[in-house]
């Protein structure tokens, strides 16, 4: 019996020894920059402002990313955010043999100051906000006061300009 067991043991193949592998040199992927929601909304607003400033001819997205020091991944996310809100358009264009996007403003604010104060631009609930959702413009606590404030500011500007401008 003992001999049989010994014979079986001898026949069992040995597990191959693990050899330590030399570490491979690999290109390190670009680490995504962690940003707070506050930083993201601020950047979204800045991207929109820059696109509006470039006017109807639009601007290559890479120019905006360069100006704001954004990675193309972060920049694209912000542009998609603005596109979803209907504030900008993204059109695929071939530029020097490479496909990229041109960003054009779809809506122009009456003045730059008004977009800085618009609650939706900097709203942390924007992605969840819809007309039939739990978070919606109908129950928004910020939209109404902003509209009233804007209307007051416009009225004040018209009154300052005099009766000709009010017509
Ligand atoms: S309507 Fe109100 S809740 Fe909705 S995105 Fe604008 S500010 Fe945010």
**Would you write out the chain's pLDDT as a tens digit for each of its 167 residues?**
555 555 555 555 555 555 555 555 555 555 666 777 778 778 888 999 899 988 888 999 999 999 999 888 888 989 998 998 888 999 999 999 999 999 999 987 766 666 777 888 888 898 889 888 899 999 999 999 998 988 888 787 767 655 544 44
pLDDT given for residue 32 in this prediction? 61
Closest ligand 1 atom, residue 120 Cα: 6
Domain contains 67:
yes
Domain contains 4:
no
How remote is the C-alpha of 116 from its chain's centroid?
17
- Between the CA of 142 and the centroid of ligand 1 the distance, in Å, is 7
pLDDT given for residue 152 in this prediction? 87
pLDDT given for residue 166 in this prediction? 45
pLDDT given for residue 19 in this prediction? 55
Spatial contact of 136 and 130, defined as CB atoms under 8 Å apart:
yes
pLDDT given for residue 116 in this prediction? 73
Residue 154, token pair as written in the block: 């416009």
From atom 7 of ligand 1, which residue's Cα is the shortest distance away? 120
Domain contains 9:
no
| Residue 115's CATH number | 1.10.10.10
Q: Mention every residue, 6+ apart, whose C-beta is less than 8 A from residue 143.
A: 119, 120, 137
Give Cα separations from 44 to 16, 36, 72, 96 (angstroms): 56, 12, 14, 27
Give Cα separations from 110 to 1, 36, 51 (angstroms): 96, 29, 15
Domain contains 7:
no
The tally of CA atoms less than 13 A away on the side-chain side of residue 141 is 1
Domain contains 47:
yes
Q: Which residues line ligand 1 (CB under 6 A)?
A: 119-120, 123, 125-126, 129, 135, 137, 140, 142-143
- Between the CA of 126 and the centroid of ligand 1 the distance, in Å, is 6
Domain contains 14:
no
pTM, whole model, 2 decimals?
0.49
Closest ligand 1 atom, residue 129 Cα: 4
- DSSP code of residue 128: G
pLDDT given for residue 142 in this prediction? 93
pLDDT given for residue 103 in this prediction? 96
- Between the CA of 148 and the centroid of ligand 1 the distance, in Å, is 15
Domain containing residue 151: 35-166
How far is Cα 50 from Cα 16, in angstroms, rounded to an integer?
61
pLDDT given for residue 137 in this prediction? 92
Domain contains 3:
no
Domain count, the chain: 1
From atom 6 of ligand 1, which residue's Cα is the shortest distance away? 120
- Between the CA of 137 and the centroid of ligand 1 the distance, in Å, is 6
Domain contains 146:
yes
pLDDT given for residue 110 in this prediction? 65
- Between the CA of 117 and the centroid of ligand 1 the distance, in Å, is 12
Q: Mention every residue, 6+ apart, whose C-beta is less than 8 A from residue 52.
A: 105, 108, 109, 112, 115
């Amino acid at each position: 019996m003992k001999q049989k067991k010994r014979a079986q043991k001898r026949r069992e193949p040995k597990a191959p020894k693990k050899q330590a592998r030399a570490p491979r040199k690999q290109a390190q992927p670009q680490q995504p920059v962690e940003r707070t929601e506050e930083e993201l909304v601020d950047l979204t607003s800045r991207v929109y402002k820059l696109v509006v400033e470039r006017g109807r001819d639009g601007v290559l997205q890479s120019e905006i990313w360069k100006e704001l020091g954004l990675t193309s991944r972060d920049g694209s996310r912000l542009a998609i955010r603005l596109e979803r809100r209907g504030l900008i358009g993204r059109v695929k264009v071939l530029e020097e043999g490479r496909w990229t996007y041109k960003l054009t403003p779809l809506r122009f604010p009456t003045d730059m100051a008004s977009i800085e104060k618009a609650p939706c631009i900097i709203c942390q609930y924007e992605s969840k906000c819809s007309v039939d959702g739990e978070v919606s413009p109908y129950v928004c606590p910020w939209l109404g006061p902003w509209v009233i404030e804007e209307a007051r500011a416009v009225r004040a500007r018209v009154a300052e300009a005099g009766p000709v401008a009010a017509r």
